Amino acid sequence: MSPHDVSTTDADLAASERSDYDSPWKEAIGAYFRPFMQLFFEPVHARIDWSQPHEFLDSELQKITGDSQLGKRFADRLVRARSREGQELWLLIHIEIQGQADIAFNHRMFQYFYRIHDHHPEAEIISLAVLTNQPDCSRLGRYVSGHGDYGVQFRFRVHNLQAWSSQWDQLKAQAARNPFAVVALAQLAAHRKTSDPERKASKREIIWLLYHYRYAREDALALLRFIDWMLRLPRVLELELRDELIKLEESTKMPYVMSYEQMALERGQKLGEKRGQKLGEKRGEKRGERRGEKRGEKRAASNILLRQIQAKFGAPTPEQRQRIDAAELPQLDAWLDRILTASSLEELLDEDQASVS
């Protein structure tokens, strides 16, 4: 395969990943809907009865507003929640996340509103928008059609994320009690026009907050996934960052790094599968793809295992290193699964040697 073939494939894959940019936002809102509302839309947050469960109606939203002519969004969600103002009152909260918008955005939000209202006339429809990279939102949030006593006026709330750019430290402080502040910080950093080393520094600064505020492991991993998705780095800088995180973990005693490495490995494996599929479609080299994927997965698993061993047990002996280098992927995966519970490197390698054929 020529270098040109490789670069073309990577470019195609990168374009495919960018087209799925809405996934992290959808996941973040799904996991942290209440903190999202509290950070961006406090008046609406105050109206929701949080003692009652809320429900995401995304499949219904797609049926109602699935027309591609309505435009491309980062994410759109429809949430049904109980109002604090009465047990019989439902709130249907429509949320749009977009990078930038022009004046036509107002009309599109109105289209969403009346289409949702047609299907749910019994509910109060609340329309909300977050614009992540909009310099000026002064012309957004209102749609008017008609003249004088005739026509319609429609209003919706718009939160301009860039307003936090000048309040970076305040947003970091918010992260102590609101996990969605971490999401906002990552998105702001992603929009900055900075060098790769500066981007790495921003990523480390945001991840450090998870340690500093002692986030629970489940929350930390969910937020690490979002941060990692938004702030991609060249491989060399990514490895440097992970080495720094290992040292940070040693000082804070917070067990995030190994899980972070596992998460990165899983993403790398999925990336390899996508790359293999793309190559197969273009060149029909199925056998070569499988071999290449396995070699890449094995190399990634071996590197991650060695870094985790270094962090937990210290440097392996030459004989132990040779065993690790010679191991096949199933054995490496087994060691990665067991390293969290092993009390010594000898126990890790000996135990798994006996249990994996």
Tens digits of per-residue pLDDT, 186-241?
Answer: 999 999 989 999 999 999 999 999 999 999 988 998 898 899 889 999 988 988 88
Q: What is the mean pLDDT of the chain?
A: 80
Where is 133: in which H helix or E strand?
Answer: none
pLDDT tens per residue across span 117-151: 999 999 999 999 999 998 888 899 999 998 878 88
More confident residue, 243 or 143: 143
End-to-end CA distance of the chain: 34
- β-bridge mates for residue 153, sequence order: 144
Which amino acid is it at 156? F
Q: Can you name the residues that pair with 155 across neighbouring β-strands?
A: 142
The pair of structure tokens assigned to 338 is 């067991």
Angle at 29 between CA 25 and CA 33, to 5 degrees: 165
Closest CA to 242 of 272, 262, 223: 262
Across residues 252-279, what is the average pLDDT? 58
- What is this structure's pTM? 0.70
- Count Cβ neighbours within 10 Å for each residue of 262-277 and write b for 16 or more, e otherwise: bebbeebbeebeebbe
Confidence of residue 74 (pLDDT cuts 50, 70, 90): low
Closest by CA position to 109, among listed 55, 147, 158: 158
Confidence of residue 306 (pLDDT cuts 50, 70, 90): confident
